[in-house]
Amino acid sequence: MNQRIHQFLSNDHRRIEDLLERATVEPGNYKIDLYQQFRIGLLTHIKMEEKVLFPAAQKANGGVQLEAFAQLRLEHGAITTLMVPPPTPALVKVLRYILDKHDLLEEKPGGMYDVCERLTEAQTDDLLLQMKNIGEVPVHPHNEAAYALETAIRSVQRAGYDYDQIAKN
């Protein structure tokens, strides 16, 4: 099977993970410029999925939303809100945990990327082009207010994860 979309987005996962790794090597001394690149990369990746791939797959599926989209969208929401407060070791741990699960749902054999790729196989070139040209998502400075973290914790919970549990394990 044609795997070019799978390959393209999986490579992007690896690039984004690498940025997060390098930004957070030293706890207590995060490299904020790398963390900024991580945020931009991840938000832009989510935009490619939400604005290009998922809608194209849903259209090819007769307009019916694919079953896994609901969970993936909740996780996109959780990941996005986790990037608003400044990173702490606990927050980064939760972010990594959700990202690992999320990327697996997308990348595993028969997972979301395979399903989307099969449904849209006549448009692979066009979709790749649209994703490559999507334009970077601008990021705002971190919000240090307590409510920013509280909002993130709630959206993590909506996606089915327990922030405190993951942070302390």
Q: Please choose, from the candidates 45, 58, 63, the residue with its C-alpha nearest in 3D space to the C-alpha of residue 9.
A: 45
By CB under 5 A, is residue 106 in contact with Fe ion?
A: yes
CA 125 to chain centre: 22
Minimum distance between the CB of residue 72 and Fe ion, rounded to whole angstroms?
6
Is the Cβ of residue 5 or residue 91 nearer to Fe ion in the bound state?
5
Range in contact with Fe ion (rule: CB under 5 A) among 48-56, 58-66, 127-135, 145-153: 48-56
CB 84 within 8 A of CB 22: no
Give the nearest distance from C-beta 63 to Fe ion in angstroms.
21
Size of the site for Fe ion (CB under 5 A): 2
Q: Which stretch binds Fe ion (CB under 5 A): 58-66, 82-90, 105-113, 129-137?
A: 105-113
Q: Exposed/middle/buried for 114, CB within 10 Å: 0-12, 13-18, 19+?
A: middle
Beta carbons of 106 and 112 less than 8 angstroms apart: yes
Task: With contacts defined by CB under 5 A, name the span among 42-50, 133-141, 147-155, 160-168 that binds Fe ion.
Answer: 42-50
Query: Is residue 168 within 8 Å of 93, Cβ to Cβ?
Result: no
Least distance from Fe ion to the Cβ atom of residue 79, Å: 8
* Interface with Fe ion, residue 117, by CB under 5 A: no
CA-to-CA dists, residue 108 to 1, 6, 102, 115, 140, angstroms? 15, 10, 10, 10, 32
Structure tokens belonging to residue 138:
């601008």
**Cβ 147 to Fe ion, closest distance in Å?**
26
Q: Tell me the two tokens of residue 58.
A: 């849903």
Stretch that binds Fe ion, among 34-42, 44-52, 121-129, 139-147 (CB under 5 A): 44-52
- Catalog residues that contact Fe ion under the rule CB under 5 A: 49, 106
